[in-house]
Structure 1
Amino acid sequence: MEHIVMGVDIGGSHITAELIDLQKKQEIEETLVRTKLDSHAAAEDIIENWAKTIEQSMEGYPIKPKKISIAMPGPMDYKNGICKIKDQDKYPALYNKNIKEMLARRLNYDVSAVNFMNDAACFLKGELFIGSLSGFDEAIGLTLGTGLGTAHTTNGAAFDSDLWKMPFQKGIAEDYISTRWFVKRYFELSGIQIADIKDLVDHHQDSPHFKTVFAEFSENLAKFIHKFIRKKMPLAAVIGGNIVKAEAFFLEDTRRHLAKLMGYSFPLKRSELGEKAALLGAGTSF
């Protein structure tokens, strides 16, 4: 049963695991398990929580998968499985540790059966597999949330574009395209400290600064996507991540700004798969 694989998506505060049937191009839904994580825990505790979630997912199906493929944020030495996340307020205990070997040993799997991939690349791969980019082969993907994830395709394979640190405006791209920017900019305009985008949408829509902050964001996002397109020459783009939940306030404006910059209407899609995109992308990427 080589076509049954374990797909895993690890974030800063959660882990999701689910078996994927590659032949049918679908999830085995009864195996879906999502668990909250403490990313500041000791390394052994983090690995234990990951392993328990993966094992719980496996219990929902009679056949044990031969391969486990994991979407994980960087920086990381993905080939060798060494975590390089540092000074990002998540997983400090995993820095420079071989988490591939640690997890394989805990799960009693051979190291060669465990694969780590960049989460933004997995997101793009999932959307190409059965999501909003189904039918496209050359594309770019952006995940908009706490940070900025970017990915592109080359000859059908998805790769981390690592453009979060690209020079942009008066800083780097992530300074302007992230939850952090919304929090900072809204405070500059209003003097009010918001927690995140959800807080902004839920409690501040009546503010005169609400439209301003989303108008600025849509323009910044369009300018960044335009630069990204010029670097990679894709046929389409997809955006996902938590910020996309507020699409009603910026997505059409972003498309309009992008069309002006491009000189034509470029296909800018919203993720169809949501959080499951990285999970499915990981499962198809071994």
Structure 2
Amino acid sequence: MKPKVVIALDVGGTFIKSGLVVDGELLQASCKQHPALADQDADVIIEQFISIFEDQYQFYTGTLGKSADCTWNIGLAFPGPFDYQQGICYIQGLSKYEALYGENIQEVLYTRFNALQHTEWAKHLLQADIRFENDAKLFALGVSKLFPNERYISLTIGTGLGSAFIDHASILNEGPGVPKDGWLFDKPFLENSIDDAFSRRGILRLAEQMRALEKGMDVKELAEQARNGNSLCCKVFEEFGTRLAGMLNSYVIDYQPNRIVIGGQIAKSIDLFGPALTAGLAESSIVIFTSENVYEHTLIGISRLFDDSFGFN
């Protein structure tokens, strides 16, 4: 049987992280980070994608000395708004990838491969299946490799909040306890939205309200102060954890997950808000799992877009 090779891209606003997943296993040596060029024009952005695809192809066939006779696939974890089924970008007003607005990225990539098919790498990649999905959902799907038989809610907390509802390694977009498309970000919480409350700006706003925020502070500095014994900063993270538990409680009751998975930059402060989160969810006896390998989980999740045994319901 031919090896199934997935060229996986985690497309961020600052960096694009790429890697090869071969028959479900991430090749660590292939993992690379590239500048995103997200504020450039459409041609520059697309050429950057093409360059990364070629680089990963050459790494597999040249550096590793592998045969090009594979089943090639290309998967991209892309921020939204985005029509993931059609491959059309609708990002606007976010200072990243705005030049791609309205573009069918899938068609554009195939057109570029077709124009370059005089080269061996482009000829092979022209036959590749190209798929897209939300980055937070793909992170959650990648974590399912660790918990293939479990039911969990996954949160990525950073500049905003991403979410996914997973059951036995499948993404659920509807059903009991599952909000539409599995998205929590736009749901109300207190006087704002969940995205406003549980994100970088949410923690900083909370710190300001609790008079713990000093000039020049970001979440990193706030966390450092808390770890150094600043009681006011400690209370900010405790309150954040308590509020996060309060937000999750109704979903935990309705969805009945085995665990909560947390990734993203804010997950690096789990030691500060985790105890309050756990205490707030104590009645459900739920397990909290924190990932420090969001990038790797996302690349593995991308590869599962092409695995018939993992579904989207």
TM-score, normalised via structure 2 length: 0.81
Identity of aligned residues (%): 29
Check conservation: 2:155, 2:162, Cα contact below 8 A: yes
Aligned residue runs from structure 1 range 26-105, under 5 A = 26-62=25-61, 63-64=67-68, 66-105=72-111
Specify the alignment match of 2:185 in structure 1: 164
For 1:1-286, list aligned pairs within 5 A.
1-22=2-23, 25-62=24-61, 63-64=67-68, 66-107=72-113, 108=122, 109-110=125-126, 113-129=129-145, 131=146, 134-153=147-166, 156-159=169-172, 160-188=181-209, 189-190=211-212, 192-194=214-216, 196-202=218-224, 205=228, 207-259=230-282, 263-271=283-291, 273-286=293-306
Give the corresponding residue for 2:119.
Answer: none
SS at match of 2:72: coil
Secondary structure, aligned partner of 1:234: coil
Unaligned runs of 5+ in 1: none
Task: Give the gaps of 5 or more residues in structure 2.
Answer: 62-66, 114-121, 173-180, 307-313
Q: Residue 141 of structure 1 aligns to a residue in which SS?
A: strand
Give the counterpart letter for 1:17 in structure 2.
S
Q: CA deviation at 1:105?
A: 2.8
Note if contact 2:81-2:91 (Cα within 8 Å) is conserved in structure 1.
yes
TM-score, with normalisation over the residues of structure 1? Answer: 0.88
SS of corresponding position for 1:186: helix
Q: What is the CA distance between 1:264 and its match in structure 2? A: 3.3
- Deviation of 1:2 after TM superposition, in Å, equals 4.3
Comparing 110-119 and 10-19, the one that deviates more: 110-119
CA deviations over 1:29-57 (Å, ceiling 9, x no partner): 22211112232211211122222223222
For 1:222, give the aligned amino acid: A
Please say if residues 72 and 127 of structure 2, whose CA atoms lie closer than 8 Å, have aligned partners that are also in contact: no
CA distance in 1, matches of 2:79, 2:257: 23
Return the alpha-carbon distance in structure 2 between the equivalents of residues 75 and 220 of structure 1.
Answer: 27
Q: CA deviation at 1:178?
A: 0.2
Structure 1 residue 10, shift from structure 2 partner: 1.0
Structure 1 pair 209–283 and aligned structure 2 pair: CA distance change class (3 A): same
Q: Give, as a single letter, the amino acid of the residue that structure 1 aligns with 2:188.
A: P
Q: Deviations over 1:56-108 (max 9, x none)?
A: 22222124451111111222110100112222332222222112222333344
The alpha carbon displacement at 1:20 in A equals 0.7
Larger Rg: 2
Amino acid at match of 2:299: L
Change (3 A) 1:206 1:92: farther
| DSSP 3-state at the match of 1:85 | coil
2 CA distance for matches of 1:111 and 1:210?
54
Q: Which is bigger in relative contact order (C-alpha 8 A, separation at least 6)?
A: 1
CA gap 1:20/1:207 in 2 versus in 1, 3 angstroms:
same
Q: Is the 8 A contact 1:214 1:249 kept in 2?
A: yes
* Corresponding residue pairs, total: 278
Stretch deviating more after TM superposition (159-168 or 227-236)? 227-236
Q: Give the residue type in structure 1 aligned to 2:133.
A: M
